[in-house]
Chains A and B, each alone.
Chain A
Amino acid sequence: MKMKSVTNYKAASCAWGSTWSGKKMPRIGIAASAIACLFVAPAFADREVFDTSNATYRAECGSCHIAYPAQLLPRESWQALMAGLPQHFGSDASVDVKTAKEIETYLTTNASRRVGALNAKPPLRITETRWFKHEHDEVPSRAWQSAAVKSPSNCGACHPGAERGDFSEHAVRVPN
């Protein structure tokens, strides 16, 4: 999978904000989000390695799935996820109040700073974001269906360093 040019990337990541709600955004919102993206997206586009070393986050969230990088969802998404832990994608992932507060602070402090549409519902899955879809648009459908991959949330199936936050493109190995 080849890295997209920064220009394409900006266009894709910025389209994400305008589609959260599935409704058309007011023009002023589009303009605001376009301006925000111009400043935020280029820095983000180059990043392939994320710091996911927070011990509490790794211990609590990383026991059922990889410690997904906080940087891949905006703070509103993390807040919504933390508020729904007792029913976390069909599973009880509740933690005590002190731990929850610590994790939420970590996630929101390191969250993506891209701006979403006003009154829009934040995405709850990284795989729902336009950014993710754009980054993976060259992955053939048979790869997604392979038993080794099973689910798009199984980052480690193709990104060997996913467990420690390393999504370097040169290391990607897509199973057949």
Chain B
Amino acid sequence: MQFANFIGLLALIGAVFAVPARAETPAELLTAFGLDARQSDAAFKGFSTQRGQQLFQQTHGGEWSCASCHTDTPSASGKHAKTGKAIAPLAPAVNPDRFTSSAKVEKWFRRNCNDVLGRACTSQEKGDVLSWLLSIKN
């Protein structure tokens, strides 16, 4: 095979496999939290929007709650408690970019749960919060 042909073939193979990563949906992420929660707790009984709201709005022994930055109404824009930087709304109904990448979602839960609860959140807790956020319509 000539060199140019070989390069062309490589490019073709690359094009076939370089399908852009499909955006995830909040519903898919919620399903994944559910599967994980069931795996770590056989008694898992689904998510609760009420528990999610409580977790989000209450402090947990520290200075901050999730609402300190995201406000009590996640359909509104928030503001970083320390730097004052604007934070786009969390509720997917008003901000369709939210909860469309599991990597991003995991990163922020990791950081923010550590800030608010001083530990990682469980899949149960993440699912509770997400189901509450999904219940908010504008």
Binding site for B on A (CB under 8 A): 63-66, 86, 89-96, 150-151, 153-154
Contacts and interface: CB of A to CB of B under 8 A. Distances in A.
B83 A64 contact: yes
Contacts of A93: 111
A139 B85 CA distance: 22
B114 interface: yes
Interface of B: 80, 82-85, 107, 110-112, 114-115
A165 to B, nearest CB: 15
27 contacts: A63-B85, A64-B80, A64-B82, A64-B83, A64-B85, A65-B83, A65-B85, A66-B85, A89-B82, A90-B82, A91-B82, A91-B111, A91-B115, A92-B110, A92-B111, A92-B114, A93-B111, A94-B110, A94-B111, A95-B107, A96-B107, A150-B84, A151-B82, A151-B83, A151-B84, A153-B83, A154-B83
A86 B112 CA distance: 11
A154 B86 CA distance: 12
Nearest to B103: A96
A94 B120 CA distance: 13
A150 to B, nearest CB: 5
A63 B110 CA distance: 15
A38 B110 CA distance: 46
Contacts of B114: 86, 92
Given A92-B110, A151-B83, 9 more contacts: A64-B85, A65-B80, A90-B82, A91-B82, A91-B111, A91-B115, A96-B107, A151-B82, A154-B83
Nearest to A59: B104
A95 to B, nearest CB: 7
A68 B109 CA distance: 24
Contacts of B112: 92
